[in-house]
Structure 1
Amino acid sequence: MRRSSLSTRLYRRVLVLLALTGLAMGAVLYSVASKEIGRASDAQLVNASRLLYMMMQDELTAGVLAARGKGLSTASDPLLSSEEKRAFHASYDWCMFAVFWEGQPVAQSGWGAPLDLIPRQPGLHDFSAVGERWRSYGLPGHDARLLVVVAERDAMREFSVVPVLRKLALPLLLLIAVAMGVLWLTLRKSLSEVERLASSLNARSLADLTPLAPENWSRDLGPLITALNKLFARLEQAYELEQAFTDDVAHELRTPLAAIRTQAQLLARTAPASLPEEVNRLLSTVRRANDLVDGMLTLARLNATAVSARSVDVHDLVAHVVADAVVNLPADAIEFTVLPDHVVRWQCDPASLQIALSAVIDNAVRHARAGGCIDIAIVRTFDHLVITIGDRGGGVAPEDRERLLRRFERGASTSSGSGLGLSIAVKAMTLARGTIRLEDRQDGPGLLVVLTLPAAD
């Protein structure tokens, strides 16, 4: 299952918070807009009732209502003429109105809620009629018997809110979209330092336990930097203890092994002619034990090796390793060829590469046939350096190649060896950020060991 990144998880959580905040802001805006539109609508009802009252001033002054009395027809002596009604509807076409004298209707708009459902008290009121909610305002006249009522549907108020919300929705959505983008960039920028820390740690070798400088990192990473430095200190102490233990063990083992080898050599000189095979087997066992101790010591020291890349003449380095190997061989025992025969420079750690080359060449010498040849080729490309070491031995079966790169694994050859040579090369190449693999030679029998180093970052 693919895990999401820390920035993605944080972004999702903050995005949910941002969405909830946006919804809350929308709800607040809706509430505020509704209240403001409600106040404005109430003010319009008041203005509409005052306009009606002003239109009826001439009739009221003439005493039409007072002279009419109850039960008189509203068709005679109307309070509002047709022109006045049209003028009112031109300004307030969504409002209905009704005029009451002593609680009885004397004028009305002719549409809207039934008159018997309209509140007949001064002030603002809510009521239901014909399946809808209404809002009304009653304006009392100078004569307490007169009441002018103007009403409108609540749906008209909601309809008035919609344009406001539409105007607010687009800026709000744009604001949320911009906030989402800024949030993502901010998170990526903030977490880039974590990525820089990861890159810095990945670029280190296994033996580089130099403490991180807290001043080079933000204060938020302070606890992590402190914890890493404490871990580095404990690892360094553990490496030092391991190194000391390995050195002590190697020293303690070398002394008795040297004594055994000396005694075996004396025995070979003085033993009867019937024992040479047993003595040679003893000497071979002592040499293998000594090689094993040296290999274990080399592996342990590799863990504490500080890796530092610099420009190296790889051809010269290979020549020195070959020269060291030839010194311990009989004259004309093995022929070495190194191609090309000129300077090949590469950015790498020379100590790790030298250890790997020494281990591989020593392994090739052990398994090359007598009078054989070891061919070394250095190939430099744009982004890789490849060194191949080929011998003329019996080679290695494909199914055994991965196994022989592990510790204490030996091939089918009867040649002496500790089983640590190739594992030492693997360890050294890992420290140098390189790889090692085993292949068949293409020009005949034998094993081809391929060392690959990438270009420095």
Structure 2
Amino acid sequence: MSTKTSLQKTLGTWLTIGVTLLWLLGVIASGLVARHEMNEVFDSALEETAQRILPLAVTDILNREGDTGLQRALALKEHDEYLTYLIRDKSGNLLLQSHDADPRIFGAIPQEGFSETSTHRIYGESAISGTLYIEVAEPLAHRRVAVLETSLALLLPLILLIPISLVGVWWVIRRSLREVLLLQQSIEVRGGGDLSPVAVDRLPEEFGPIMISVNRLLDRLRRALEAERSFTANSAHELRTPLATALAKLQRLKVETQDVRVKTQAGEIEVSLRTLSRLSEKLLELAKAEGGGALSEHRHDLVPILRMIASDYEHQAPGKIELNLPDGDVTSLLDLDAFAILARNLIENALRHGADDQPVNISLTGDGILRVVNRGEIVSPEKLALLRNRFVRSSTKAVGSGIGLAIVEAIASGAGITLTLRSPASGQSDGFEAELNIAVVDAHS
């Protein structure tokens, strides 16, 4: 499971969650404030109702002619009463009640001020020196419904505002990180061989020092690679020239001298110089392969390069090369020089260690699969696993430096491709096979 996270996604998600939580907290706080204020209003309404009704009720009771029993206030029409009331004397005897009042919700003895039961909020007031009492009751459910409706009125806009906030947050983040995304794309599309400075205008201030450091690093790396390539080229020239001169003088000495012992020694020295010359060339190739120059900035057709290299070896060893190439192009980001070094080392390895009476088969398919196959002895699995290392050779008696496949492995690793070695070769009972897919070069290696 990937642990990578997107800055844009992280900011968008958490900012949206934060805005939503703030909205909800605001609604909850507003609901609590509204409930407190509404309770004060409802309590004031209870008190005001009691104080308005009590004088009228007292007048009505005092004007009765002999009838001091319970009377029910008449309603002009049927309706639900949110506020109900009772008029009682101090002993709790009912004298008057509203048409929808239920005496069971009131206490047995009337009392002044606010009180509360499990279902109602009650306010009591007295008159005529505490001989008559009025109690007005309001259902608590009525208050809860009012608070709930108010809270829903505050909450419902969030159904519209949260999606708008989400879109707004993502738009602002995307706009703010637009230059960062351009930077990402600029780095993502460039190949591993492109060491030019990364230029993106109007980057956020926080990314400025990062890009300065990255460009400085790229510049140092580019100069280091250029210096290495220059050293490689100069070293190759400086080594080849004295070695060639020494070989020429040695060969002239062999021709001019009549001393058999001197000729024998000169021949041995000549073999050593040729071995040294080949080894110096291989070491320089290895330095180039490990120097990070395996990729180019643009794709190239590698078919003509492979045809030319195979032709060179056909002239050196007539009848020893079988070449199979596709009709079309095979393009790759592999550097042309790196590919030439890779192909030459694979072919030389196959010619040197293959059977003398069998040709080396070189094939390149249209989808970029390069195979170099030779006949000969089978390499054991234990030895096969070590052939990619430097100065490791198979058990054959052929002359070699032991770094040819190490060079190929270094180039393949630098280009992000895999070198596959098999023995026996595919479809054979013996021999050796090297295979690479040069078309799937990793541009970001």
Aligned partner of 1:76 in structure 2 is 68
- Local SS of the residue matching 1:307: strand
User: What's the C-alpha RMSD, in Å, of the aligned pairs?
Assistant: 4.7
Aligned partner of 1:5 in structure 2 is 5
- Which has the higher mean CA deviation after the structures are superposed, 359-368 or 196-205? 196-205
* Aligned partners of 2:346 and 2:405 also within 8 Å: yes
* Aligned partners of 2:346 and 2:408 also within 8 Å: yes
Aligned partner of 2:220 in structure 1 is 234
Q: Within 5 A, what are the aligned runs for 1:322-401? A: 322-327=310-315, 329=316, 332=318, 334-340=319-325, 342-346=327-331, 348-349=333-334, 351=336, 352-380=338-366, 384-401=367-384
C-alpha offsets along residues 52-98 of structure 1, whole Å, 9 cap, x if unaligned? 358x37x62x7x54x79xxx99x6176xx4243x5699453454455
* Count of aligned pairs: 430
C-alpha offsets along residues 269-326 of structure 1, whole Å, 9 cap, x if unaligned? 65976798876665444333323322333344453646033352x4322211112334
- Local SS of the residue matching 2:402: coil
| Inter-partner Cα distance in structure 1 for 2:346 and 2:163 | 60
Identity %: 23
Q: Within 5 A, what are the aligned runs for 1:28-67? A: 28-42=29-43, 44-45=45-46, 48-49=49-50, 52=53, 56=56, 60=59, 64-65=61-62
| Inter-partner Cα distance in structure 1 for 2:160 and 2:134 | 47
- Identify if the C-alpha distance between structure 1 residues 137 and 30 changes in structure 2 by more than 3 Å, giving closer, same or farther: farther
Q: Within 5 A, what are the aligned runs for 1:80-91? A: 81-84=71-74, 90-91=79-80
Amino acid at match of 2:406: S
| Inter-partner Cα distance in structure 1 for 2:25 and 2:182 | 38
- Identify if the C-alpha distance between structure 1 residues 407 and 315 changes in structure 2 by more than 3 Å, giving closer, same or farther: same
1:210 and 2:202 are equivalent in the alignment: no
Aligned partner of 2:437 in structure 1 is 452
Aligned pair partner of 1:410 in 377, 385, 393: 393
Amino acid at match of 1:160: A
- Local SS of the residue matching 1:454: coil
Aligned partner of 1:422 in structure 2 is 405
Task: Give the TM-score, by structure 1 length.
Answer: 0.72
Aligned partner of 1:291 in structure 2 is 278
Amino acid at match of 1:445: D
| Inter-partner Cα distance in structure 1 for 2:220 and 2:381 | 41
Aligned partner of 2:123 in structure 1 is 136
Amino acid at match of 1:158: R
* Aligned partners of 1:96 and 1:112 also within 8 Å: no
| Inter-partner Cα distance in structure 2 for 1:300 and 1:230 | 24
Please state how far the C-alpha of 1:195 moved relative to its aligned partner.
Answer: 6.6
Task: Give the TM-score, by structure 2 length.
Answer: 0.74
1:321 and 2:314 are equivalent in the alignment: no
* Aligned partners of 2:361 and 2:374 also within 8 Å: yes
* Aligned partners of 1:98 and 1:115 also within 8 Å: no
| Inter-partner Cα distance in structure 2 for 1:344 and 1:394 | 34
* Aligned partners of 1:46 and 1:139 also within 8 Å: no
* Aligned partners of 1:393 and 1:446 also within 8 Å: yes
| Inter-partner Cα distance in structure 2 for 1:291 and 1:365 | 15
Amino acid at match of 2:277: N
- Identify if the C-alpha distance between structure 1 residues 188 and 431 changes in structure 2 by more than 3 Å, giving closer, same or farther: farther
* Aligned partners of 1:338 and 1:377 also within 8 Å: yes
Amino acid at match of 2:112: P
Amino acid at match of 2:400: G
- Local SS of the residue matching 1:240: helix
